[in-house]
Amino acid sequence: MSKIGCNCGHVIVDQTDYIPYKAGYIPDTVSCDLVEVVSDEIIEKVKEAGIENILNEDIADILWSRIFYQNSKQIYECEKCGSILIEKIEEDNVFHKFKPDFCGNEEKQIRTIYTTKRVRK
């Protein structure tokens, strides 16, 4: 994904990492099963490769990131009008667009979540 048009005319650009107006999500119907499958798959691959003793946090992060991005969808927030664009589960790169009750961009929803519940250190 590189550019998405908002209904207000603004072009949302996604060409790098750590974008403050972008978030990923995994639908709840997928997430519970995914965690179990991921855990089992990682354990199996580690045992097959004979690397039980060298699995470290970096390798686990890489595996989880790959699995997350393969199973997640995107949410974007328009920087101009504040609309939320949620990628459809059944179609890649097709979005539902929602206009917030407020006007303008006084309150950034995705940025607010990111800054208050930051995962990375």
Are the beta carbons of 118 and 102 closer than 8 angstroms? Answer: no
CA distance 88 to 83: 15
Domain extents for the chain? 1-25+75-121, 27-71
Q: No. of H helices and E strands in the chain?
A: 3, 6
- The yes-or-no verdict on residue 114 having pLDDT over 60 is no
CA distance 72 to 31: 9
Q: Which tens digit of pLDDT belongs to each residue from 11-41?
A: 999 998 888 899 888 887 777 777 777 777 7
pTM: 0.68
